[in-house]
Amino acid sequence: MIAPGLSDARERWLAELSAVGGRAEKTVEAYRADLQSFFAFLQNYEGTSLGTAEIARLTTRTMRAWMAHERGRGISARSLARGLSAVKSFIAWQADRDGFDPTPVLSTRSPKFQKKLPRPLSADAARLMIDTVELQSTTDWVGQRDMAVLTLLYGCGLRISEAIGLKGRDLPVGESLRILGKGGKERIVPVIPTARRAVAAYLDVCPFDIAPDSPVFRGVRGGALNPRLVQKVMEQARNQLGLPATATPHAMRHSFATHLLNSGGDLRAIQELLGHASLSTTQAYTAVDTARLMDVYAAAHPRAK
């Protein structure tokens, strides 16, 4: 049995992550599931009820046993690393409040895993993808809708959730959009003329009235567009074009960043456009290698000239 005090502590920590740390709702839910799984293991492993006192007595041996258990039930190294991160963060938070030593937990090494590098499309492939999705539907306004969404992904570097999350109050689309990204972080994104024209063309033929609080992009029944439908239309288009399975909606965002960097864009500026908190994330996102990063550094740093 998990003691109410421990459950309450977990919920307070998660609420703090959301309110103060700015973590996205999906991240908070993933952390809740990770902790629930960890608590369930401890309860079975120790054979007793689980409360904050037991958390304070965790040992390195127990942590290793948990990680072995997780790998034994098929949890990937990547997912286990995320779970361990959640556990460490919670234990450190609890230790500050209860005054115990969290070292046995915090010193547990995270499993190593090969990070998946993004695979952007070529500029020609990205343009072909946009042109092709327009022709996938026999309904004109649906084709215009799909083209407009992909143009926002590639032309503005939006996440699919950000594109289909646009509301009537964001219209008409001007030279920039105010985007609320992950963790509630707001950024201003320039909108290229091609993207503005694509959205306008969709709106001209969209059969639904768009109120300020209603979604811009609609499904055929008038509800908010499901991101799965965008994924499906891209799947059909990539099969037609002979593109790999990595040609997904998210790859359009990768392509935006990579092509912008390859055209001389500043890495810091691209970081802001994408809404990344860390430059290292942008570096991986644009598939930039160390040599390219040093070129950017040499061109920008006053002492490097």
Regarding whether 155 and 224 lie in a shared domain, the answer is: yes
Q: 145 in a domain, yes or no?
A: yes
Q: Is 187 exposed, middle or buried (0-12, 13-18, 19+ CB in 10 A)?
A: middle
Q: 78 in a domain, yes or no?
A: yes
Which candidate in 82, 182, 259, 292 is catalytic? 182
Which candidate in 167, 187, 250, 259 is catalytic? 250
Q: Is 253 a catalytic residue?
A: yes
Say which range, 111-120, 122-131, 171-180, 233-242, has the weakest mean pLDDT.
111-120
Q: Give the domain CATH number at 166.
A: 1.10.443.10
Q: 258 in a domain, yes or no?
A: no
For 201, the domain range is 123-249
Per-residue model confidence as pLDDT tens digits over 119-157: 889 899 999 999 999 888 889 999 999 999 999 999 999
Q: Is 31 a catalytic residue?
A: no
Q: 298 in a domain, yes or no?
A: no
Q: Is 109 a catalytic residue?
A: no
Per-residue model confidence as pLDDT tens digits over 134-143: 888 889 999 9
Give pTM, 2 decimals.
Answer: 0.63
Q: 268 in a domain, yes or no?
A: no
Which candidate in 159, 196, 238, 254 is catalytic? 159
How would residue 305 be classed by pLDDT, with cut points 50, 70 and 90?
Answer: very low
Q: Is 276 a catalytic residue?
A: yes
Q: Is 69 a catalytic residue?
A: no
Regarding whether 128 and 231 lie in a shared domain, the answer is: yes
Regarding whether 191 and 76 lie in a shared domain, the answer is: no
Q: 113 in a domain, yes or no?
A: no
Q: 115 in a domain, yes or no?
A: no
The reported pLDDT for the residue numbered 304 is: 47
Q: Is 285 a catalytic residue?
A: yes
